[in-house]
Chains A and B, each alone.
Chain A
Amino acid sequence: GENVEQHPSTLSVQEGDSAVIKCTYSDSASNYFPWYKQELGKRPQLIIDIRSNVGEKKDQRIAVTLNKTAKHFSLHITETQPEDSAVYFCAARLNNAGNMLTFGGGTRLMVKP
């Protein structure tokens, strides 16, 4: 099966700085990589995703990059704001596994004002 490792487990940045979270996956057959954000006491919500036929995707201050050769993908948040503080989860989905996601361990991001 798939295995997803996520680093770092905690990340503290100053407001306005950039934050980068990295995930590696084990199965080269994975073809879909979403990122979920979970604010304290709330449900996880999809913030951005990328498919294996694309190397980068951007949505305002958030971007995701994918390196299929190295089997890793990263979340980039620029100009961080206090409301970006949350736990971020990456996930990977195998090509023939329906919508079964394997999640990383999560990164707690703290943005200090």
Chain B
Amino acid sequence: ETGVTQTPRHLVMGMTNKKSLKCEQHLGHNAMYWYKQSAKKPLELMFVYNFKEQTENNSVPSRFSPECPNSSHLFLHLHTLQPEDSALYLCASSQGTGGDEQYFGPGTRLTVT
């Protein structure tokens, strides 16, 4: 499946590092999302972008900084993370925020040491 791609697939970083996660969608969608998936927790919506504009920031700590340069690309910049930030970070896209189905990427497995 190549509709929504994410890189890297795995990332190990120290608490003082700065890294970025990348998401790209090839579906012509206008809305993109970042989710956090932790063990034994629901999928947590972090950010929503619609036509490159951020429409939702779900009370996410400032150590997570999203960037959406165009409708096809979404980044999540990470700095001074905590061990509890270790999780699977999933990107998704949909046909506008009124579109129903969200197409997920494969995720980036992040480990903060």
Give A contacts to B, CB under 8 Å.
4, 6, 32, 34, 42-46, 49, 89, 91, 98-106
Chain B interface: which size bin? 20 to 34
* Among B1, B44, B100, B105, contact of A99 (Cβ-Cβ < 8 Å): B100
* Contacting residue for A34 out of B40, B100, B107, CB 8 A: B100
Q: A43-B106, A99-B97, A105-B42 are in contact. List 14 more A-B contacts (CB 8 A).
A: A42-B106, A43-B1, A43-B90, A43-B107, A49-B100, A89-B43, A98-B55, A98-B56, A99-B102, A100-B56, A100-B97, A102-B45, A103-B43, A105-B40
Which residues does B use to contact A, with CB under 8 Å?
Answer: 1, 4, 31, 40-45, 48, 50, 55-56, 90, 94, 96-102, 104-107
Residues of B within 8 A of A46 (CB): 101-102
A43 engages B42 (CB within 8 Å):
no
Roughly how many angstroms separate A43 CA and B98 CA in the complex, as a whole number? 22
